[in-house]
């Protein structure tokens, strides 16, 4: 799909231009440190929030959250300049009423405040924060496109015949396609899948399955349910570790620092249509049909582009 222009463009105040350049240099230094293996000491969500704050700086306080929708499948956030992002709604994490107890509405708050929700221990609040991070990553991509070298690799391109593939989260449409390449596919899933087309085990078996895998496909929903860091610690010597799904923030560096080799998410190209899809309990298929496109980033390709 060709690149689609956003209807809006963020404009940082002139007084922030000098600070913006300084933040860019700080971001470059952070990326250089990643190559030295620095960055795994903190969790992914604190690192993601910190990186976005660092790169956007005081401008975050001027970006307004225009709308928030919490649907049955996805949570969507619309911010200033017509940028939108989504995150998987973690419905399976609740054993009681999931209602948010905020005394004020989220709509109208500044992005720096709502982004902080990504650090919440409450999965639904975290989903709102992650959707905000996703929207901000789209904005940052337009501000600094040189740091977001898009890849056109597909998930199937990363799998070789005979590979032992572990999939955390059941991506139904992908299963038969992977089985055409390799029969060694194991799915780890919290839910009980009706008539699974491959070997399916409880997610608690990750400690046994992941270290022996060649390719790990990690659902981006693990961010909101706060299992990402633990699961990633079991990756062993996997050749490929892919963060997959519309919840994946399209800001790859914090993930690359931790051993993720590819981030494959969804860029929201029609944020207002996204709000409708989310409100009507639309899933991934509808997101891609009406308001989004698949976008991928590969760690190896990023390095190649930097050294060119």
Domain locations in the chain as residue ranges: 14-147, 155-267+290-307
- Fold agreement (14-147, 155-267+290-307): no
DSSP H/E element including 3:
none
- For 114-146, the pLDDT digits (tens) are 999 999 988 999 999 999 999 999 999 998 888
Residue 147: pLDDT band (50, 70, 90) is: confident
Question: Could you tell me if 75 and 86 are in contact, meaning their C-beta atoms sit under 8 angstroms apart?
Answer: yes
- pLDDT reported for residue 97: 64
Report the predicted TM-score, pTM, of the whole model to 2 decimal places. Answer: 0.84
Residue 91 CB coordination number (10 Å): 14
Say yes or no to pLDDT of 86 above 50: yes
Lowest-confidence range among 6-15, 146-155, 160-169, 297-306?
Answer: 6-15
The correct answer on CATH 3.40.50.11590 for the domain covering 155-267+290-307 is yes
* 179 Cβ contact partners less than 8 Å away, ≥ 6 residues apart: 185, 197, 198
**Per CATH, the architecture of 14-147 is what?**
2-Layer Sandwich (3.30)
């Amino acid at each position: 799909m060709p690149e689609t222009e956003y209807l809006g463009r963020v404009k940082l105040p002139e007084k922030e231009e000098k600070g913006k350049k300084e933040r860019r240099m700080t971001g470059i230094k952070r990326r250089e440190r990643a190559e030295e293996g620095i960055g795994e000491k903190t969790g992914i969500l604190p690192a993601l929030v910190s990186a976005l704050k660092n790169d956007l700086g005081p401008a975050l306080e001027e970006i307004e959250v225009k709308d928030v929708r919490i649907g049955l499948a996805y949570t969507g956030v619309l911010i200033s300049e017509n940028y939108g992002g989504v995150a998987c709604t973690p419905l399976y994490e609740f054993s009681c009423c999931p209602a948010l107890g905020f005394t004020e509405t989220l709509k109208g708050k500044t992005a720096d405040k709502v982004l902080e929700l990504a650090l919440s221990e409450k999965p639904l609040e975290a989903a709102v924060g992650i959707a905000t991070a996703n929207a901000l990553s789209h904005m940052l991509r337009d501000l600094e496109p040189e740091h977001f070298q898009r890849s056109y690799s597909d998930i199937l391109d990363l799998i070789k015949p005979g590979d032992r593939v572990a999939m955390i989260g059941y991506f139904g449409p992908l299963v038969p396609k992977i089985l055409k390449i390799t029969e060694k596919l194991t799915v780890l899933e919290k839910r009980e899948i009706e008539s699974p087309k491959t070997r399916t085990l409880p997610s608690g078996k990750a400690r046994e399955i992941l270290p022996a895998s060649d390719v790990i496909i990690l659902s981006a929903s693990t961010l909101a349910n706060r299992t990402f860091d633990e699961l990633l610690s079991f990756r062993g010597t996997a050749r490929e570790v892919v963060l997959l799904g519309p919840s994946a923030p399209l800001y790859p560096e914090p993930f690359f620092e931790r051993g993720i080799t590819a981030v494959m998410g969804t860029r929201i190209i029609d944020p207002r249509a996204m709000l409708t899809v989310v409100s009507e309990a639309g899933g991934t298929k509808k997101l891609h049909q009406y308001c989004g496109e698949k976008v991928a980033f590969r760690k190896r390709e990023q390095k190649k582009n930097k050294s060119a």
